[in-house]
Amino acid sequence: MMSFLVSEELSFRIPVELRYETRDPYAVRLTFHLPGDAPVTWAFGRELLVDGVGRPCGDGDVRIAPVEPEPLAEVLIRLQVGSDQALFRSSAAPLVAFLDRTDKLVPLGQEGALADFDSHLDEALDRILAEEQSAG
């Protein structure tokens, strides 16, 4: 569950599915289940999420930062398409637990060592582009 921050005064909790697939080892996927809308999936670099839990990072459509200077409490995830943006707040603990599980599957920095990665690269890129097109 994450908080969807509509404004400074209004937010609500929504379910968010976190996914990681070894056939696309550089990316994580977050699927947001907003009330009354079809689920929206965002794919972005796993390393961005790892870094964003501890310090502000991201350039462009996805920006992640701890809420407080003290890392590992809460995290803000800002997603932007053109002038439209959405802001989510999450406890860091489930994100860290998720990232720990991904690291057990494919250690960070070892993504390129997967034997079949190159054969799936085009498929992964096509899937990411299709997800982005269906989201926007």
- Summarize pLDDT for 73-108 with one digit per residue, the tens: 899 999 998 888 999 999 999 999 999 999 998 888
Q: Are 54 and 69 in contact (CB under 8 A)?
A: no
pLDDT for res 100? 95
Tell me the C-alpha distance between 134 and 1, whole Å.
23
Q: How confident is the model at residue 109 (pLDDT cuts 50, 70, 90)?
A: confident
CB of 53 closer than 8 Å to CB of 96: yes
Candidate from 20-24, 105-109, 118-122 with smallest mean pLDDT: 118-122
Domains of the chain in sequence order: 2-110 (2.30.31.20)
What does the alpha-carbon distance between residue 61 and residue 124 come to, in Å, rounded to a whole number?
19
- What residues are paired with 54 via a beta bridge? none
Rounded to whole angstroms, how far apart are CA atoms 133 and 136? 5
pTM greater than the 0.75 cutoff: yes
